[in-house]
Amino acid sequence: MTFFETVPIPEPGIAVLLGIGVAGFIGYLRRGTT
């Protein structure tokens, strides 16, 4: 996770959006496999 270590996150909202994006991506993969 060197990317997140080198790039500072100015707003916690970005982390929330990233979390939603990851959750949506995982959900998309699970829906695709089934």
Per-residue pLDDT of the chain (34 residues; tens, 9 = 90+): 566 566 666 677 877 888 888 899 999 999 987 6
- Predicted confidence at residue 28, as pLDDT, reads 92
Q: Tell me how far apart the alpha carbons of residues 31 and 25 are, in angstroms, rounded to a whole number.
A: 10
- Predicted confidence at residue 2, as pLDDT, reads 62
Torsion angle, alpha carbons of 16, 21, 22, 28, to 10: 150
Long-range contacts of 18-27 (CB under 8 A, 24+ apart): none
Local structure of 19: helix, strand or coil:
helix
